[in-house]
Structure 1
Amino acid sequence: MLELRSLVTTPLLASFPSPSRGVWYVGPLALRAYALFIIAGIVIAVIWGGKRYVARGGAPGRIGDLAVWCVPFGLVGGRLYHVITDHELYFGAGRNPWKAFAIWEGGLGIWGAVALGAVGLWLGCRHYKIPMAPVADALAAPLIVAQAIGRLGNYFNQELFGSLTTLPWGLEVFARTPDGVPAAVDACIFPGGGAPEFSTTYIKATPEVLCGTYQPTFLYELLWNLLVAALIVWADKRFRLGGGRVFALYVAGYTAGRVWIEALRIDPARTMVFGLRVNIVVSIVVFVLAVIFLIARRGVKREDPVLVAGTGGADDVQIDATNTDGAPHAGEQGALPDPDGDLPTEPGSQDVDYASEVDPEPAATTVDTAGPPRQDAGTTVVISKDVVERGAGDDSGAAAPGGPSRD
């Protein structure tokens, strides 16, 4: 108590304040900062994830379709994880079990969100008959950026911070009371000891009562997530990762940071495993599994764009012929003809007279044996679904002129 009182009266050299409230009312409608940031993160993840998926060969708009499946599953899973690991908040003497459904007040566990969200994604991919790995890889960077945005909700809720600190970037935490009524410093003491905790519907007391300056662990995780997102984008572009390796990199990167950030937090951990906070133990286990997956799948490259579209893809799949992110390079499976009009072949293979291997067309059809038309850089080539199917059914194994390699 003495330490807290001294912090209240001692001028701080440098710090930043927490917001005065986490909810605003428009008539009977409550606008909660936590919910708004979660929604903003989801929207950004869908938009950016959709662009990354199209760059890999997926159908435009497909990520939005899949979001209808995985977002509800993710929200339910995240809430279940939180309620299970913090069940004392909702069940027992003096608790209201119905509060377990008040997701808008905060309380989502990332592991439950990822686990059930993945189930929803799997169901959606089965429904649209597309492979799941390219979708997960396309969503990896957008997902962790969405998590970073969601951490701003913790800032407005004045929650999830670390121990008292004198660091220049310390977070000022104030007592919050109903309608901002006056409060004593005693309001800063959490009943179970440790960090103060206030309802998100409260606002700062009048006059303001500073409880102390704490480690902004929500900010540490926000910045860490953005760094991991940058790493994912770079590694994906540099090594052309595929087969779920981008998503595994996201999981490994996030958990590596979550371990040390979680260790800084002082809010009560109601579930402990081996003397450690449950989130630390889960992070370590998931990190090890992600690293094992990365090692086991090393060397797996990005999928053929035609395969990414799946059997339930759009009738016309657009592929950028400029070898930008998502398009296969010359010589790779699914590569398009290069600007000089040469058909892609495997390194070291002999020249093949492709015209002589094409199945004869009906007599009324003229076959152009001069090779595929020249494609200028930046040209978008449209591969019709019937052309792909005809090439796939060619017993000779030769690719149709102008179509993707079926090696």
Structure 2
Amino acid sequence: MAFAIPFPMIDPIALELGPIAIRWYALAYIVGLVGGWQYIKRISPKFPGNITHEHVDDFLFWATIGVVLGGRTGYVLFYNFDYFSSNPVAIFQVWNGGMSFHGGFMGVVVAAMLFCKKHKLPMMTFGDLLACGTPIGLFFGRIANFANSELYGRTTDVPWGVIFPNGGPDPRHPSQIYEAIMEGLILFIVLFVLSRRERLRHAPGLFVGIFIAGYGVARSIVELFRQPDAQIGFLSGGSTMGQWLSVPMILIGLFFVWRALVNKQETNT
């Protein structure tokens, strides 16, 4: 067998406070959510639209509900509908894993639309702020997937292959780490650098488009190394469900970028 890295012995319980046990899985999601929230608060004064710190604070609750409900609903519908339809109680056992980014994304979109309508905020500018902070949550979310030994990659002989506890005896791509780097770190850096340019901050929807398209590209690439869900397997042409859901994101994201740049140019003329 090729050289492989054994999976680190991680106690799933990060902290115990009497009868309350906080798992690393939940803690990573909390850190990602709070980190994204604080970063959005920091950059919000630089964007147009009069979006205040209070608006960002208030939206945190909405975003949490959107991520949890949307993410879980997306996983149930897209990835394991037969199982959950037969075991509806398992839908609520989110600590066992099973969240869909695409579903969570749609949940946050709906939450943002309702929030902006209630507070009369510019939807596209608000979306740009969320887009800049979301990669932080994605980074820690993928680290949570790794700690939970889920969503691992396909078998491999690369030197950094990892033997996961529930992934069989063969080393596998640590695809969760690939996603943390591509969807989290790299996408954050791209948005961070571009958001420092004032004229781009005044092109509503631009960062939304870059984020959506960037995520779609990153996810489509990582899916080449990620083990597809056992209950779904490969789809037509060796593609995966993740790729089928990500390709439309690339097209939609590019449309948002095009529209933002065209509108910006028309505004300047």
Q: TM-score, normalised by structure 1?
A: 0.59
Larger CA deviation: 153-162 vs 267-276: 267-276
> What is the one-letter code of the residue matched to 2:83?
L
CA contact 1:164–1:213 (8 Å) conserved in 2: yes
How many equivalent pairs are there?
259
Please tell me whether residue 255 in structure 1 is matched to residue 187 in structure 2: no
| Offset, 1:25 | 7.0
CA contact 2:204–2:260 (8 Å) conserved in 1: yes
Which residue of structure 1 lines up, in the alignment, with residue 57 of structure 2?
64
CA contact 1:69–1:123 (8 Å) conserved in 2: no
Which residue of structure 2 lines up, in the alignment, with residue 140 of structure 1?
131
Q: Which has the higher contact order (CA 8 A, sep 6+)?
A: 2
User: Which among 100, 103, 109 is matched to residue 112 of structure 1?
Assistant: 103
User: Which among 56, 60, 66 is matched to residue 73 of structure 1?
Assistant: 66
Deviations 1:26-77 (A, max 9, x none): 3432322111111111111111111111221422221111222232022101
- Gaps (5+ residues) in structure 2? none
| Offset, 1:293 | 2.1
Distance 2:205 2:9 in 1: 39
Kindly tell me: are residues 116 and 20 of structure 1, through their superposed partners in 2, closer, same or farther at Cα, counting changes over 3 Å? Answer: closer
CA contact 1:151–1:219 (8 Å) conserved in 2: yes
Give the aligned CA root-mean-square deviation in angstroms.
2.5
In proportion to residue count, which structure has more strand?
A: 1
Kindly tell me: are residues 16 and 247 of structure 1, through their superposed partners in 2, closer, same or farther at Cα, counting changes over 3 Å? Answer: farther
Which residue of structure 2 lines up, in the alignment, with residue 47 of structure 1?
38
Task: Map 1:220-239; keep pairs closer than 5 Å.
Answer: 220-225=178-183, 226-238=185-197, 239=199
Q: Choose 1 or 2 for highest CA Rg.
A: 1
User: Which among 181, 200, 223 is matched to residue 240 of structure 1?
Assistant: 200
> What is the one-letter code of the residue matched to 1:72?
I
CA contact 1:49–1:138 (8 Å) conserved in 2: yes
Runs of 4+ residues deviating >6 angstroms:
none
Distance 2:196 2:15 in 1: 45
CA contact 2:125–2:205 (8 Å) conserved in 1: yes
Distance 2:174 2:113 in 1: 36
Which residue of structure 2 lines up, in the alignment, with residue 292 of structure 1?
255
CA contact 1:70–1:124 (8 Å) conserved in 2: no
CA contact 2:7–2:162 (8 Å) conserved in 1: yes
Deviations 1:97-136 (A, max 9, x none): 2011111222111111111211111111122121111111
Percent identity between matched residues is 24
> What is the one-letter code of the residue matched to 1:170?
G
In proportion to residue count, which structure has more helix?
A: 2
- Gaps (5+ residues) in structure 1? 1-6, 176-194, 197-210, 303-331, 334-345, 347-407
Distance 2:149 2:41 in 1: 33
User: Which among 63, 73, 84 is matched to residue 90 of structure 1?
Assistant: 84
